[in-house]
Structure 1
Amino acid sequence: MPSTETTLRDRARRAVKVELVDAALDLFRENGFDQTTIDDIAHAVGMSRRSFFRYFSSKDDLVLGTYEQWAERLARAMAERPLDEPVWESLRRVFEIVVDPMIGEPATEHSLAMDRIVFSTTALKAAYLEKLDHAQGRVVAVVGKRARLRGVPIAEHDVATRAVVGAAFACLQVAHRAVLDADDASAYGHALGTAMAAMATVAQERSATPE
């Protein structure tokens, strides 16, 4: 078990990171992402530029830190789903770990505001998509491994597996965009469920259509 000292130190570190993110968000809203410097953010919380780098490696890291965790969290959640559960259902449940933090104050307003900055800044959006692609690759690997554990002979780079997981991630992005357009994080779960249900329906109709 971690010592009390370690726990307190971790909590203090998290508190400082939250303070930096909140200060940065205020500055981004006021001045824009590109116009805001690391010095500006550090000054806003009364610390030096050097101290800033103890918590974040860059301004981009401050904004994209949440997305950085997606790959590990999604892959781990997928590995923990029941082996006999349909893949599409597993993916829907796994995505709840992305949806849930978007709902509830004050996380709602904070998440939406930061996401708007990401989607309106070319470099950040490209980095976000890259991290999403990495997370997708991790989930593909887990899905393939789970299939093999069930005795299904799936190759490591199976096209069908990539297509199914890719379609699910596309639904996630559609839901994300819908939430930002509606300015309502509480709609995330419904939007994602609607998108994934629509894809499942299309797949069923396709499989029922004779060639």
Structure 2
Amino acid sequence: MVNEEDPTPIRERTRRLVQTELTTVAQDLFVAQGYDDTTVDQIAAAAGMSRRTFFRYFASKDDLVIGKYDLLGDRMVDALDARPADEPVWQSLRRVFDIATEYVDDPRLRARNDAMSAIVQSTPQLNARYLEKLQRIQQLLGGRVAARLHGADPDPTDPRPAAIVGAAFACMQAARIAYLASDQAAPIGTYLDRAMEAVHIA
């Protein structure tokens, strides 16, 4: 039976789950033996599927690396959609960023995420696509914020949705920088709270 609280079709939810599993398996292999030395065949085998099945979910190894940002974007959009409609947008975005902070607060997730970030940043084609995906995430969230502000008839000339989302991401980056510069005794969420409170966007 379809969960009425989740409008995503079952087939698409299943696809996302498989993509998430493949991404996790691949990241572990990349961290253990290096991106260039890891093959699609190895990833497929570790995930318990054939090479042919792998290509049903990702067109290439590069797509698998960058695909995690699509999955992250989908999770963030779903999280924003799940927030109360009457909640201040800025507060909703803060809660959405809990998805990102979990990758920093969990030592194992942070180590894997940092290793993957290093791979992306050191590979020009991956870094270019990462920036495209980051822009897509902000656009998706901006669309949701626009709907919050204008209802069913968003105003494409209103700069506020993009500005609000952009400011939220800037706060996340500032919090990460401050967290890494600290002794990391406090969770990154503490730094994010301080950053977002400093901006005071409604």
TM-score under structure 1 length normalisation: 0.68
How is 1:126-145 mapped onto 2 (pairs within 5 angstroms)?
126-145=128-147
User: Structure 1 residues 17 and 187, CA, compared in 2 at 3 Å: closer, same or farther?
Assistant: same
> Paired residue for 1:156?
156
Quick check: 126-135 or 80-89, which moved more?
80-89
| Percentage of identical aligned residues | 40
> Paired residue for 2:7?
none
Question: Is this contact kept in 1: 2:20–2:71, CA < 8 A?
Answer: no
Query: What is the distance in 2 between the residues matched to 1:16 and 1:79?
Result: 26
Question: Is this contact kept in 1: 2:44–2:54, CA < 8 A?
Answer: no
- Shift of the alpha carbon at 1:194? 3.0
User: Structure 1 residues 147 and 192, CA, compared in 2 at 3 Å: closer, same or farther?
Assistant: same
Question: Is this contact kept in 1: 2:175–2:188, CA < 8 A?
Answer: yes
Query: What is the distance in 1 between the residues matched to 2:188 and 2:94?
Result: 12
Bigger radius of gyration: 1
> Paired residue for 1:59?
61
> Paired residue for 2:86?
84
Question: Is this contact kept in 2: 1:103–1:185, CA < 8 A?
Answer: no
Query: What is the distance in 1 between the residues matched to 2:181 and 2:62?
Result: 23
How is 1:65-104 mapped onto 2 (pairs within 5 angstroms)?
65-104=67-106
- Shift of the alpha carbon at 1:87? 1.8
User: Structure 1 residues 194 and 118, CA, compared in 2 at 3 Å: closer, same or farther?
Assistant: farther
Query: What is the distance in 1 between the residues matched to 2:171 and 2:86?
Result: 23
One-letter identity of the residue aligned with 1:194: R
Query: What is the distance in 2 between the residues matched to 1:113 and 1:181?
Result: 18
Instruction: Tell me whether 1:27 sits opposite 2:28 in the alignment.
Output: no
User: Structure 1 residues 177 and 127, CA, compared in 2 at 3 Å: closer, same or farther?
Assistant: farther
Give the gaps of 5 or more residues in structure 2.
Answer: 3-10
> Paired residue for 1:117?
119
Instruction: Tell me whether 1:147 sits opposite 2:129 in the alignment.
Output: no
- Shift of the alpha carbon at 1:129? 1.7
Quick check: 60-69 or 189-198, which moved more?
189-198
Query: What is the distance in 1 between the residues matched to 2:180 and 2:168?
Result: 19
Question: Is this contact kept in 2: 1:38–1:49, CA < 8 A?
Answer: no
User: Structure 1 residues 182 and 48, CA, compared in 2 at 3 Å: closer, same or farther?
Assistant: farther
Give the superposed CA RMSD.
Answer: 3.9
- Shift of the alpha carbon at 1:163? 1.0
Query: What is the distance in 2 between the residues matched to 1:50 and 1:183?
Result: 46
Give the gaps of 5 or more residues in structure 1.
Answer: 205-211
The one-character-per-residue Cα deviations of 1:10-68 (angstroms, maximum 9, x if unpaired) are 9888666543331222222xxxx4x4363684598598755653553212222223211
Instruction: Tell me whether 1:190 sits opposite 2:190 in the alignment.
Output: yes
